[in-house]
């Protein structure tokens, strides 16, 4: 199983148009090659000029030789005297990255240590009781119902990576069994302080009630335990995997966030922005495309690209698809969780990318069956170095894959999910975006960084839900009422 996904190195996505039809396919976009410096114009040189040039050249070479010798001597001396404890551990990702001797585009990543979160939340999976942890205290505290509101519930669900709040209620302490040493946290009436000051520890709740919170379901794989090893993905392995089709042909990948919402790459939709909206379909629960029948799939109601998307460098490469009718969740169809706010997946994290794209660098064969492969996250500092992408990555991008090119995403995988496991929950960390070549050495895959789009995704979904509700209540809806900023239609 050498690789299951790779990336294409053809022309940028923005050069394709709807007139080409769906048969041309979508692939991970590729920014243009760096501009080459023009060659120096040849000028006549006299014999005296040549002698002068040679004399200065030999002098320069002699000076460079002395400098190189001094540098090597100093380097050997440092290696000899440097303590052994400072050497990188063999076999680690750090060792792999340090072997590449190339100039770094930025050192900011090493200078900005991540700060621990001051307040964390979690929801008990059995009874949905909300718990909070303040940085100064190691234990988890049940939340008293005093001062609680639905708006706070929405905020907490979103911070945990869920798209929406499903239900919240007060639970009587007398109705549940608790350890006698269990403590509580009460929301302070004064909400203007630091986050850790808002939640005050208590021995009991004055109301005798605590908060039960239920968020939208996501990040679970009901059939994952039935999967046997292999390159092709079995039904239910990635229940959030979607196929975005134009007409009857697979165009891009996508990820289910909620029954009405699928996220994909903006460059997928931008390339076919002149196509009819009614021609787009989203297929879920698929493993093989050969099983798709005409007129199947969910109809796309609205396509909303990020308003800051750039077709030149594929910055902000993310788009939302709103479906006309909700998806029916099952063992093979479900939602992926968004990253929890302030949650950082470090370099070296083993994540998975999946799709129906080409399975070989020559692009001669597209897969009818859903494929997947594991790829480690790489540091942005490494991927922006001169020997990889030379500073092409923006803060809205992340890098994953192998420097030796053993596995990657490829043509047809654009918009698909890069997911990482976080304490038993699968989270959408990246959206397949662009790269140079398919599984080429020194050119790993580049993905849209979902953590940078959280506010936009959540605000857009809430805004559209509000507009849909208002449209149902109003007898007449104008074009202006149905327009969404950043949408192509």
CB 234 within 8 A of CB 226: yes
> For the chain, what are the domain ranges?
1-28+223-460, 119-215
Q: What per-residue confidence (pLDDT) applies to 467?
A: 67
Q: Which of 12-21, 186-195, 431-440 has the highest mean pLDDT?
A: 431-440
Pick the more confident residue, 425 or 92.
425
How do the residues of the chain divide into helix, strand and coil, expressed in percent and rounded to 5? 25, 25, 50
pLDDT confidence tier of residue 69, bands split at 50, 70 and 90:
low
Which CATH architecture is the domain 1-28+223-460 placed in? Beta Barrel (2.40)
Q: How far apart are CA 269 and CA 415, in angstroms?
A: 10
Provide the token pair at 282.
């989203």
Burial 228-244 (b: 16+ CB within 10 A, else e): eeeeebbbbbbbbbbbb
Band the pLDDT of 130: cuts 50, 70, 90.
very high
Residue 330 falls in the annotated catalytic set: no
How many Cα atoms within 13 Å fall on the side-chain side of residue 414? 30
Annotated active-site residue in 267, 270, 283, 443 = 267
pLDDT: is 414 or 98 the higher one?
414
pLDDT-wise least confident of 3-12, 267-276, 332-341, 363-372: 3-12
* Selected residue with higher pLDDT from 62 and 56: 62
457 pLDDT band, cuts 50/70/90, is very high
Q: What number is the average pLDDT over the span 244-254? A: 91
166 conformational bin, left if phi > 0, alpha if psi -120 to 50, beta if neither: alpha
Distance from C-alpha of 238 to C-alpha of 233, rounded to nearest angstrom: 8
The pLDDT assigned to 430 comes to 97
Q: Identify the band that residue 368 occupies on the pLDDT scale cut at 50, 70 and 90.
A: confident
pLDDT at 136: 66
Task: Give the pLDDT score at 205.
Answer: 94
Catalytic residue among 8, 315, 317, 413: 317
Q: Which CATH number fits domain 119-215: 3.30.420.40, 3.30.565.10, 3.40.30.10, 3.10.250.10?
A: 3.10.250.10
Distances (CA, A) of 295 to 24, 246, 292: 21, 11, 9
Average pLDDT over the chain reads 75
| C-alpha to C-alpha distances, 14 to 259, 268, 275, 390, 404, nearest whole angstrom | 30, 9, 14, 22, 29
For the chain, percent of residues with pLDDT exceeding 90: 47
Q: What is the mean pLDDT of residues 46-53?
A: 39
pLDDT, mean of residues 255-271? 96
The catalytic residue among 159, 275, 414, 433 is: 414
Q: How confident is the model at residue 63 (pLDDT cuts 50, 70, 90)?
A: low
pLDDT (0 to 100) of residue 29: 61
Q: Does pLDDT of 79 surpass 80?
A: no
Lowest mean pLDDT among 30-34, 91-95, 103-107: 91-95
Q: Which is more confidently placed, 343 or 442? A: 442
How many residues make up the chain in this entry?
489
Residues 136-181 have pLDDT tens digits of 678 999 999 998 999 999 999 999 999 999 999 999 999 998 887 8
Instruction: Read off the pLDDT band of 190 (50, 70, 90).
Output: low
267 is an active site residue? yes
Q: What is the reported pLDDT for 197?
A: 65
* Predicted pLDDT at 146: 93
Q: Percentage of residues in the chain with pLDDT exceeding 70?
A: 65
| Predicted model pTM | 0.74
pLDDT band at 427 (very low <50, low <70, confident <90, very high): very high
State residue 485's pLDDT score: 36
* pLDDT in the model for residue 362: 57
Cβ–Cβ under 8 Å, residues 105 and 385: yes
């Amino acid at each position: 199983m050498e690789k299951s996904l790779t990336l294409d190195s053809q022309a940028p996505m923005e050069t394709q148009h709807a007139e080409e039809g769906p048969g041309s396919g979508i692939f991970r976009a590729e920014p243009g090659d760096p501009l080459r410096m023009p060659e120096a114009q040849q000028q006549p040189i006299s014999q005296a000029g040549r002698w002068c040039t040679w004399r200065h050249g030999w002098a320069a070479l002699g000076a460079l030789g002395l400098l190189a010798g001094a540098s090597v001597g100093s380097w050997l001396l440092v290696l000899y005297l440097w303590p052994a404890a400072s050497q990188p551990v063999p076999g680690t990702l750090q060792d792999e990255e340090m072997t590449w001797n190339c100039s770094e585009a930025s050192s900011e990543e090493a200078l900005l240590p991540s700060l621990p979160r001051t307040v964390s939340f979690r929801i008990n999976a059995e009874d949905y009781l909300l718990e909070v942890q303040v940085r100064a205290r190691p234990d988890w505290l049940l939340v008293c119902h005093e001062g609680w509101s639905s708006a706070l519930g929405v905020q907490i669900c979103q911070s945990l990576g869920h798209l929406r709040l499903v239900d919240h209620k007060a639970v009587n302490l007398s109705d549940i069994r608790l350890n006698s040493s269990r403590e509580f946290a009460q929301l302070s009436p004064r909400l203007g302080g630091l986050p850790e000051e808002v939640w005050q520890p208590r021995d009991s709740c004055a109301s005798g009630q605590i908060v039960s919170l239920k968020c939208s379901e996501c990040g679970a794989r009901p059939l994952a335990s039935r999967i046997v090893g292999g390159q092709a993905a079995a039904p239910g392995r990635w229940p959030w995997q979607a196929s975005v089709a134009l007409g009857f042909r697979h165009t891009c990948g996508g990820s289910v966030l909620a029954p009405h919402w699928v996220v994909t790459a903006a460059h997928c939709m931008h390339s076919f922005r002149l196509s009819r909206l009614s021609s787009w379909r989203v297929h879920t629960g698929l493993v093989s495309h050969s099983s798709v029948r005409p007129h199947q799939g969910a109809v796309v109601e609205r396509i909303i690209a990020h308003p800051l998307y750039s077709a030149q460098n594929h910055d902000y490469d993310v788009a939302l698809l709103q479906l006309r009718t909700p998806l029916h969740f099952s063992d093979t169809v479900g939602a992926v969780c968004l990253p929890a706010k302030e949650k950082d997946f470090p370099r070296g994290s083993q994540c998975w990318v999946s799709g129906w794209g080409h399975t070989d660098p020559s692009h001669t064969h597209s897969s009818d069956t859903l494929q997947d492969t594991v790829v480690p996250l790489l540091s942005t500092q490494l991927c922006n170095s001169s020997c990889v992408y030379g500073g092409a990555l923006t803060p809205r991008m992340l890098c994953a894959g192998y420097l030796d090119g053993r596995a990657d995403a490829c043509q047809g995988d654009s918009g698909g999910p890069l997911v990482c496991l976080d304490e038993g929950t699968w989270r959408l960390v990246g959206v397949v975006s662009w790269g140079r070549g398919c599984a080429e050495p020194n050119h790993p895959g580049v993905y849209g960084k979902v953590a940078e789009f959280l506010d936009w995704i959540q605000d857009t979904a809430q805004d559209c839900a509000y507009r849909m509700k208002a449209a149902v209540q109003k007898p007449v809806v104008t074009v202006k009422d149905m327009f969404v900023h950043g949408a192509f239609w």
